[in-house]
Amino acid sequence: MRNERGMMRLDGKVAVVTGGAGGIGRGIVRAFVKEGARVLVVDINDEAGRALEAEFDGEARYLGIDISKHENASRIRDAANEAFGPVSVLVNNAHASRQAPLIEVTQEMLDLSFGTGFYPTLWLMQACYEQLKETNGSVINFASGAGIDGLPTQGSYAAAKEAIRAISRVAANEWATDGINVNAISPLALTEGIQAYIAANPEVEEPMLSKTPMHRLGDPEHDIGRVAVFLASDDASYMTGQTLMVDGGSIKLR
């Protein structure tokens, strides 16, 4: 959306969005491009990634790559540079996990959750640091109510999510004088995954909604993507180390 001077809020920004081909990530990509950003969409779902790329006129480029491999962090940064220039916004959104009672959590579950959530978040922050410094950039990481509230069966996921919030605060402190702000979003959104889960288990919908004061699940682009636009924009430049609850009021942080 252009302002009275014909500018959009993310004009000139180069963003990397992990897990950008589906769910909340895709909502963020759409919201970013509408505000003038150019976006590298990082995912392993090639079909969805190419379909998203085709929605735009070159403003979004898809890179099919697995973020759980350490060496891919610098490849992702380099691909963004080649496509658009230095990275000014890093969105660490992708995260895969499996649920089990704490007593049954396995090393494999921990490796999946930390390997797709925590480690790639750290590696990409490290790989993009110099460019974020050069561009006075922003990092947007992803937290979860499952971590903040310690939801049952979410041991491996909750631990990785809270570890992500911990390094977000450390980076906020260390990088503030470099002009980089680092914040986290804790979302609640109706993604295709959650839609399919509700379709297969209709009884889960009402309890989910009754815990949400707004009584609806957020829209990935309009509810979550627009908050990510704010955090990526210069409007949020005096804000760092925060977790924004974008969840219809489900959790009230104090």
List residues with catalytic annotation: 157
The answer to the question of residue 188 lying near ligand NAD (CB under 6 A) is yes
8 A C-beta contact, residue 189 and residue 22: no
Which DSSP letter does residue 234 get?
G
Site string for ligand NAD, 148-187 (x = CB under 6 A): ---------------------------------------x
Amino acid letter, 70: H
Cα(43)–Cα(165) distance, integer angstroms: 22
* Residue 190: partners with Cβ closer than 8 Å, 6 or more residues away: 217, 218, 219, 220
Does residue number 29 form part of the binding site for ligand NAD (CB under 6 A)?
A: no
Q: Which two tokens stand for residue 152?
A: 């049952």
8 A C-beta contact, residue 131 and residue 86:
yes
Report the nearest approach of ligand NAD to the CB of residue 3 (Å).
29
Least separation in angstroms between CB 163 and ligand NAD = 13
Instruction: Tell me phi and psi for residue 189, to 5 degrees.
Output: -150, 150
Q: Which of 24, 40, 110, 139 binds ligand NAD (CB under 6 A)?
A: 24
Site string for ligand NAD, 195-234 (x = CB under 6 A): ----------------------------------------
Of residues 107 through 146, those in contact with ligand NAD by CB under 6 A are 116, 142, 144-145
Interface residue with ligand NAD among 88, 154, 156, 191 (CB under 6 A) is 191
Handedness of CA 8, 224, 60, 34 (dihedral sign): negative
Give CA angle at 93 (135, 107), nearest 5°: 125
Does residue 93 belong to the site contacting ligand NAD (CB under 6 A)?
yes
Note the residues at the interface with ligand NAD (CB under 6 A): 18-19, 21-25, 42-45, 66-68, 93-96, 116, 142, 144-145, 187-189, 191, 193-194
